[in-house]
Amino acid sequence: MAGRSAQAAHNRKGPSVFESLSPSSLPAADEALREPIRRLIADAMGPTPLDRRARSWQGFDAAFSRALGQAGFLGLTLPERYGGGGRGPFARFVIVEELLSAGAPVAAHWIADRQSAPLILGYGSEAQRRFYLPRICRGEAFFCIGMSEPGSGSDLASVRTRAERTGKGWRLGGQKIWTTNAQHSDYMIALVRTSGAAADRQAGLSQLIVDLRAPGVAVRPIVDLTGDAHFAEVFFDDVELADDALIGTEGEGWKQVTAELAFERSGPERIYSSIVLVDAWIAHVARAGRRDAATLALAGRMTAEIATLRAMSLAVTALLAQGLSPVVEASLVKDLGTGFEQAVPRWIGDDLAAHPDEAVAPELHRTVAYLSQIAPSFSLRGGTREILRGIIARGLGLR
């Protein structure tokens, strides 16, 4: 109840929404997590090449995720009775910051830990919580999110994938696309239409937990321009699901998805995708002995931007710690954060090109090339720039 009251007060702020982004700092108890997680990462990763560490988001390593779970670094925000850490969002902030700064492979547990588990905790039945949450905390159940559909772009409300009630549960038919790591996941939480038509928009939508090994489910990986395949198409051909596949309330799927996206957009993961390249470039210019004005200006610009974005992300985390759902604030941080992530490979690529007589390590070259290719997707995943700016405009009372 306290959380709901705080949310209502938060929502009443309207046009002054940015006042809610107050400076915040990490509690000492959560800062204390840095050393043990750094030791685990160093032991597990060893001398991993830079261009592989740049694939942190796409790095699917089930053994690494299980090691995180065994060490108690997954499900930190979940109650202890479900196998979680019983801690707050600041603890997860520290862990995520360390994983991404090191370029650790996070894809296996990423979605389950960040979104699916909080969604199940908030809207799932007690039976669903007891079945899924402990396995997520142990790094033994991996999830993907089924939202996008062919021809819909980022318009999540135009869902055509449909689930019909049967005598035993649900029959699911349709297709999802751009589903991250569906080919490696155990379950999908799919946004589907359970009543009405696509023209009804947000009405009539529900969320179902789909076992991706169920008969009638087909997953086809999509190879991107970098040669990796972390997206997939998922086809549902009369997939039979039990009655308890429904999560939350039938017809309330849009409301649930909106709350879920706040988790996806609020964390430090939206500002650190290119951070290993920043570290490598600084090491490169130090070895080259460069201290000219242009080099110092670029180093200063990147440092100032990441420091500001980190402070904003911490402020959003503080709102989560208060039990709020900071949809507008999280959208603002993601929009600005992905702009920074996209600019870094361009800035550093231009800098290296401006010094053709300088010896550049092949790993640094490969990392610049990889991030330059993948960077356009940073502002697509988790909500496009255009969608986010629409949310921000509504939060400011401009739409």
Helix (H, G, I), strand (E, B) or coil at 208: strand
3-state SS assignment for residue 100: helix
Choose, from 149, 264, 305, 341, the residue flagged as catalytic: 264
Catalytic site includes residue 19: no
Amino acid at 198: A
DSSP 112-129: IIIIIHHHHHHHS-HHHH
The residue type of 200 is D
Residue in 204, 189, 194, 206 with CA at minimum distance from that of residue 166: 194
Could you tell me if 42 and 51 are in contact, meaning their C-beta atoms sit under 8 angstroms apart?
no
User: Which residue is associated with the tokens 């492979």?
Assistant: 105
- Using the CB atoms, write b or e for 299-334: b if 16+ within 10 Å: beebeebbeebbebbbbbbbbbbbebbbbbbbbbbb
Dist CA 189 CA 6 (whole Å) = 28
d(C-alpha 145, C-alpha 137), whole Å: 18
Q: Kind and range of the H or E element at 222?
A: strand 217-222
| Residue whose token pair is 């997520």 | 136
- The amino acid present at 312, given as its one-letter code, is M
Residue pair 98/41 in contact by the 8 Å Cβ criterion:
yes
Residue 200, SS3 per DSSP: helix
**How many Å from the N-terminal Cα to the C-terminal Cα in the chain?**
30
E strand or H helix that includes residue 247: strand 246-247
Tell me, what amino acid is at 242?
A
How many residues are given for the chain? 399
DSSP 292-350: -HHHHHHHHHHHHHHHHHHHHHHHHHHHHHTT---HHHHHHHHHHHHHHHHHHHHHHHH
Q: Looking at the annotation, which residues are catalytic?
A: 264
